[in-house]
Every structure is written in C-alpha cells, then in structure tokens.
Chains A and B, each alone.
Chain A
Amino acid sequence: MRLSRRAFVAGTASAAALAATSPALAQGGQWYAGTAVDGSVTYRTTNFGVVDPRWKRQMVVYNSPEKPGTIVIDTRNHYLYWIWENNTALRYGVGVGKEGFKWYGRARVDRKVLWPRWVPPEAMRKRSPNLPKMVEGGSPKNPLGPRGIYLFANGQDTGYRIHGNTAPWSIGKDASSGCIRMFNEDVIDLYQRTPIGTEVLVLEHLGGQENEGVRMEVKES
C-alpha cells in the first residue's frame, strides 16, 4: 500500500522488463512484486503498482446505518467495506463469482482458517473435470490463498467464503465461483480485523434492498 514513487516506477519497469524477456513470466508476471513469508508459507506479493487505484485498500466515507465492525459486500461494484465510526469504512476491492452472486443477506463469520485447504464443490468439478479433489493449504495452486473467512447463517455454512487469490488481475471483476476473493495482502489484513462473530451483510449493490434474494436471519449465540 505504501509505495514511494521511485519504488513504483522501479517495480513496474523491472516487471515489464521481466515480462518482456521471459515468456514464462509474461502471463501475469507483472502482477507480482516479490515474496513474503506468513507462518511457514512463502507466497508471492502483489505488485500494487499495476493495480487500478480504486481497488486498493482505502479509508472512505460510508453512509449507512450499519454498526461498526460489520462487513458489507457490494457484489455488483466489487467493493467490500469494513464499517468504522463517523460514517467511515475501510474499503477493499474484491472479485466475485462470474455467474453473479446467488446469495444475499445477513451472515456471520463463524469460522476462520489460516492457509485453508481447498475442496472444490461437486458442481465445480462437474464443470471442470480436471480439478483435483483437494488442494492443500499453502500450495501455490490453492485459489483460497492465505486466509479463509467462512460465512454462516442460521448456524449453517452458506458455502460462501471471503478468501485470497492466485490471480490478482481478477480483483474488481466477476471471475470466481460465487466466493469473494481479495488481494492476499488484503485478506490477511481483513482477517486480523474481524473476529469470529463479525456480522456480514451481502448486498447485490449498495442502496439495494437488504432483502433482495434470500434473506436469512442469523441465529445469535
């Protein structure tokens, strides 16, 4: 997030040079800045120098009656807001399912996992028969990335998660299967700010009715 102009120029220049000289890196190579270590896993960091500024984490005005600490997801506009006081929110860019998000309403974070393993749902494996049955957490091929935030309603897993990615260029687009994907740095950030019990509101878009689609009550414990 904190890029000096020099680092920005050097980063894009070297990434461009790499992409030009190495065919293997040409595919998405400029989207990575280097590596970082989280626990025992080394992962590729995002080159925010090539990211459209609107998808970067930023503090914005947010007008709504939602209480501080709530996560609000605007699926159509590809933003996730973490609500603060005084009409403010920390906003992150997200990618969402390409078939359109099918679930709207109130949920709660009931489960959080570091470097979650990925088990593709049956429907997804029918569409893409080459998918493995399971990918271990921490694998560079695991699309959930460094964190999984699991959304529950009525004590039941909705099947939807907020997670990281293996394709940073998909943030801001409709390009996953229903889940909410974030830059890996951002999902790491959101994970530490949102304890189990955090309220989540999934909207088709801001200003839309809360009860669009299926509205499910959250059973409180």
Chain B
Amino acid sequence: MTEHATRRTKTGLIAAGLALAFLGGCASVDEVAGPAFSGPTGTPIPAFANMKEGSEEDFIMNAGRRTYFRSGSAELDGTAKRTLDKQAAWLNQHPKWFIKLQGHADDPGNNGKLSTQRAENVMNYLVAKGVDPSRMWAKGYAKKRLVRDCPQLTCKSQNRRVVSNLREELEDHVIARRQVAQQ
C-alpha cells in the first residue's frame, strides 16, 4: 500500500485507486498523489491552486510536513523546531485533523529504533506546543520508504526525516491499543 492508499481522505481514496492501478502497490513517499501529472512545465496543480484554508494542501504548502535530522541523530535542531512551530500553530487552528507521525532513517546503526525515536521526539515537541496528544500517534519505518536510494549524502539527507501526515480519523490499531492501555 502507498502512503496515499492508506490515507482516509476523499483525495486519498481517489489516489489509492490510481496508485494501485499504476504503481502496483510499491511504497510511495509522494507529496502530491500520483499518477504523474502531464502538461507543460509551469502548469498549476489544481488541488493546490484551488486549495482552501485548513485543507491538507494548505498544510503541505504553508506549514510543510517534513522535519529533517542529522546523521545518526533524533535530536530536533533549530530548523526542525521552527518547522514544528509552524505545524503546531496550524494544527491548533485546525483541530479536526489527526496526525500520523511517520519516522524514517537511512543512517548507520539501528534504523528501526532511530526512526521511531525521531517520530516520538516530534510528537513530544508538538505536545509541548499545545497539540492534543490524543490526536497523534508515532511510527518508525526504518528504511522502508526512502525518498532517494543512494549511498551519498544527497540521498541520505532526504531520507532522515519525519513526515507529519494528516488523517481524518485514528487508525483502528491505535484505538485498540489505547483501549487496552485504559483497562
């Protein structure tokens, strides 16, 4: 399944069908749901050109959903904190959204652990900035969803990230886990 195939939004459902048809279900990290756009370079993308305040496109364009990390580190640097400050302000203004924090790593060492730690650090920072923790959950993907795959820094720097993904509802396994925790 692609990221978009699992996204429970109207555009996501359309994208899911298209993505499955065209990509055969390979892992995707797309910012703009596929299939690939056509037309001359410079043609506006309609979903963004006509976006409404509070929409997912608004979040992607005006807050930005990727937070980057240095090699081997899950620490939030000054740039990461500025990104998350913008995300928190936006999320606090638009409380209808849930947020899945997807951690990724392409580093020396244990990428599973590091990617989870990155996602959790982002979540803790957003909580400190007033975002309700019940709206969020964190998951580490290790190296499963690389933006670019090569041994150089040009690739690895793109992969060392957390993507703040908007969702219209909690995932079932998150609800189940929380119910267990309450018992």
Contacts and interface: CB of A to CB of B under 8 A. Distances in A.
B160 A195 contact: yes
Contacts of A196: 153, 157
Contact of A61 (B30, B43, B62): B43
Contact of B32 (A59, A91, A112): A59
Contacts of B62: 1-2
Contact of A2 (B33, B58, B147, B160): B58
A198 interface: yes
A61 B37 CA distance: 6
B144 interface: no
Contact of A58 (B28, B30, B44, B158): B44
Contacts of A68: 29, 147-148, 158
What class of interface size applies to chain B in its complex with A? 35 or more
Contacts, number: 111
B30 A87 contact: no
Interface string B79-93: 100110010000000
Given A58-B48, A69-B148, A193 B29 contact: no
Nearest to B60: A59
B64 interface: yes
Given A84-B31, A85-B29, A87-B36, A193 B157 contact: no
Interface of A: 1-2, 38, 57-64, 67-69, 79, 84-88, 90-91, 108, 112, 114, 188-189, 191-193, 195-199, 206, 218, 220-221
**10 tightest Cβ-Cβ pairs between the two chains A and B:** A197-B157, A59-B48, A197-B153, A220-B152, A195-B68, A69-B158, A61-B43, A85-B30, A195-B157, A59-B45
Interface of B: 28-45, 48-49, 53, 57-58, 61-62, 64, 66, 68, 78-79, 82-83, 86, 147-148, 151-154, 156-158, 160
23 contacts: A2-B53, A2-B62, A58-B49, A59-B44, A59-B61, A60-B42, A60-B45, A61-B41, A62-B42, A84-B30, A85-B29, A88-B37, A108-B153, A108-B154, A112-B79, A192-B79, A193-B66, A195-B158, A197-B153, A197-B154, A197-B157, A218-B154, A220-B154
